[in-house]
Amino acid sequence: MTNEQKAIKAMYFSIIGNTCLAFIKGLAGFFGNSYALIADAIESTTDILGSFLVLFGIKYANKPADENHPYGHGRAEPLITFLVVGFLITSATIIAYESILNIQHPHDLPKPWTLIVLSAIIIWKEFSFQKVMKRGKETNSSALKADAWHHRSDAITSIAAFLGILIALVMGKGYESADDWAALFAAAFILYNSYKIFRPALGEIMDENLNEDLIEEIRNKSREVEGIIATEKCFIRKAGMQYHVDLHAIVDAKITVKEGHDLAHKLKDRLQTEIPELGNVLIHIEPD
């Protein structure tokens, strides 16, 4: 199974899971008199839209290179991630606004059975986070990792809702707003999580150097190629699920131009074979 297929399969898992959970949370929040659960349902609804965006981004980012896009379409992934962050910020703002209104106007206590619903949701969302994050790491997809963090943020907001409802039920009359304070906390966490998702995507767009481990691996693999004495400059930029590399390789100054050319191709083939996530590899030969 290719990286693209793994990523798409993970996205369908997210979309189906979030759709079911949004429906369950919405019903439980409405009939269980819990705004924290309704806030959770709102976040899950935005997660569905975000997951569809990520799915589109992954498919578009993996289109092959063409005349207008010689390095491929990988940069579509972080751009889609920015849109996902926009959805998260919007949902957090709506949740915070409604929470503040509800705090000012006390309502009835939540129903005890909502705690059972939330317990199941927390377990499922943490499982979803682990599953999607594993795929994100396997495929080097920033958008897939962003979607995984949606699941983790959903789990934490559900924990906040659980605690808010529990406090309201245990403390009784006068503590009805604990449920709403939990929703407000959830909104703050969503905003914080939005920054955590946004920051690496911005680094990808700006070609920020965040790949020291990969650079070291490339240098080590290069020195294993007969005829390559050492490496000098090594620049990496990430685009979608691939890394494009500019590498300066040091060779014997006395070899012919053709021998240097053949060595460059040999090195490029070796790197792309042993490090499959590499896309375009440009080798510049330097004399020793």
> In whole angstroms, how far apart are CA 47 and each of 14, 50, 83, 90, 182?
9, 5, 12, 11, 19
Of 88, 51, 52, 53, nearest to 186 by C-alpha is 88
Percent of the chain at pLDDT > 90 equals: 15
Instruction: Please give the pLDDT value at position 71.
Output: 78
pTM of the model: 0.69
List Cα–Cα distances, 80 to 13, 106, 107, 112, 205, in angstroms.
19, 39, 39, 39, 11
Confidence of residue 88 (pLDDT cuts 50, 70, 90): confident
| 59-77: average pLDDT | 78
DSSP label of 249: E
Map out the domains of the chain as residue ranges: 3-205, 212-287
Share of the chain above pLDDT 70, in %: 96
Beta strands, E only, the chain: 230-239, 242-251, 278-287
75, 49, 50: which is closest to 63 by C-alpha? 75
- Mean pLDDT check: name the lowest of 24-28, 42-46, 68-72, 135-139: 42-46
pLDDT tens for 239-287 read 777 888 999 999 999 899 999 899 999 999 999 998 888 888 999 999 9
Domain 3-205: give its CATH code. 1.20.1510.10
Q: Selecting from 3.30.70.1350, 3.30.530.20, 3.30.70.1380, 3.10.270.10, what CATH number does the domain 212-287 have?
A: 3.30.70.1350
* Averaged pLDDT score across all residues of the chain: 82
